[in-house]
Amino acid sequence: MSATQSTDWTITTSTGLPGTALLGRVSALAADAEDTDGNPPLSEQTLVELRTGESGDALLVVAAWLADTDGGASGELVGVAVAVPAPGGAPGTLEIVVHPEYRNDGIGGALVATLAAQVPLESLQAWSHGNHEAAARLAQHHGFAPVRELWRMRLVHDAGLPPAELPAGYRLRAFVPGQDEQDWLAANAAAFSEHAEQGAMTPGDLAARMEEDWFDPDGFLLAEDGDGRIAGFHWTKVHPALKSPTTGEHHAVGEVYVVGVVPAAQGTGLGRALTVAGIEHLRSRGLQAVMLYVDADNTAAVSLYQKLGFTRWDVDVMYARGATAAG
């Protein structure tokens, strides 16, 4: 671990799996930022990496600590940047969060500058969850341009969903822990062969999510073909408390977490039926508000969700250095 210092805060860098104390402070910082902004500042995969350390020593954490009266770290975490490498030489992921009470003090810029001394910024793609103005300015200042938009869409009122009728030859059942992990990973890789993030999910990634409090195998729906092979799936998720974008109140929200169909079953209507089946499952849990994430340029998926009654709620933007702006 190394450290640099200013009159107001101290910055430390560390690699590999963070200690329990640092992980707890990062989680608390992210929760404070989400409560203010209405967006989780760190993606689920980044949090998984921080908990499991699957990336080994290539995982880099740059932390800003409030300085005490002697100029040392007070123990109060006010900002963090996390760089997560990607396999196969693909660009890694960068995410930054600064505590709402300490923004506009140069902490974000100091985190990036410290990070740049450790790893080439060209090797990273940075997410801005909610694409707040300050994040956009910070990205532009360091030569990053937007390259991808991930929409958050929301279904609040019952739009009269069509029946969840699976195509002939398929049946629906729930995921069985201890039985379906390997077959699902294979189906997921096939369904998302052109999606670097989702398609590369590892056994460790899956196991980490199955250990989360929100994991419910009854909400992990699998569609089997006549030979008992997984042809598609809808993994749902329940967020116990998300801030409403209109009222600011916190309510439980269901999520269309992942919907996938293997290539051989695509074009059969299986994806639509699985989407509806998952929404019906969430509604059976008493959840009227349902959200999802979708790439803005995935026109087929966006069109399907709009027909089901989803509307755009928010947007996450990915930035890359030296790239041509998206859109």
Q: How confident is the model over 180-199, as pLDDT tens digits?
A: 999 999 999 999 988 877 88
The per-residue pLDDT for 326 is 52
Q: What is the number of domains present in the chain?
A: 2
In a domain, 48, yes or no: yes
What count of Cα atoms within 13 Å lies in the side-chain half-sphere of residue 171? 6
Residues 45 and 130 reside in one and the same domain: yes
Report the distance separating Cα 37 and Cα 312, nearest Å. 17
Residues 9 and 87 reside in one and the same domain: yes
In a domain, 147, yes or no: no
Does residue 148 carry a pLDDT above 60? yes
Decide which of 289 and 71 is more confident: 289
Residues 204 and 84 reside in one and the same domain: no
In a domain, 266, yes or no: yes
Least confident stretch, 73-77, 211-215, 303-307: 73-77
Residues 182 and 312 reside in one and the same domain: yes
Residues 129 and 162 reside in one and the same domain: no
Residues 46 and 95 reside in one and the same domain: yes
pLDDT band at 19 (very low <50, low <70, confident <90, very high): confident
Residues 172 and 313 reside in one and the same domain: yes
Residues 161 and 129 reside in one and the same domain: no
The per-residue pLDDT for 265 is 96
How far lies 161's CA from each of 108, 158, 235, 270, 290, in Å?
A: 44, 7, 18, 15, 13
Decide the pairing of beta strands 92-98 and 73-84.
Answer: antiparallel
How far lies 247's CA from each of 32, 34, 54, 132, 158, in Å?
A: 18, 15, 39, 19, 19
Least confident stretch, 154-158, 183-187, 294-298: 154-158
The sign of the CA dihedral 295, 296, 300, 301 is positive
Does residue 270 carry a pLDDT above 80? yes
Does residue 256 carry a pLDDT above 90? yes
In a domain, 92, yes or no: yes
pLDDT band at 273 (very low <50, low <70, confident <90, very high): very high
Mean pLDDT of 149-160: 83
Does residue 223 carry a pLDDT above 90? yes
The per-residue pLDDT for 293 is 93
pLDDT band at 220 (very low <50, low <70, confident <90, very high): very high
Boundary of a domain, candidates 108, 142, 176: 142
pLDDT band at 85 (very low <50, low <70, confident <90, very high): confident
Boundary of a domain, candidates 142, 177, 205: 142
Residues 174 and 295 reside in one and the same domain: yes
In a domain, 325, yes or no: no
DSSP state of 226: T
Give the chain's mean pLDDT: 88
The per-residue pLDDT for 249 is 64
DSSP state of 218: G
In a domain, 115, yes or no: yes
Cα 262 from chain centroid? Answer: 22
- Note whether 255 and 239 are within 8 A (CB): yes
The per-residue pLDDT for 175 is 98
Boundary of a domain, candidates 142, 176, 191: 142
Least confident stretch, 87-91, 166-170, 240-244, 253-257: 240-244
Residues 6 and 94 reside in one and the same domain: yes
Range of the domain at 245: 153-317
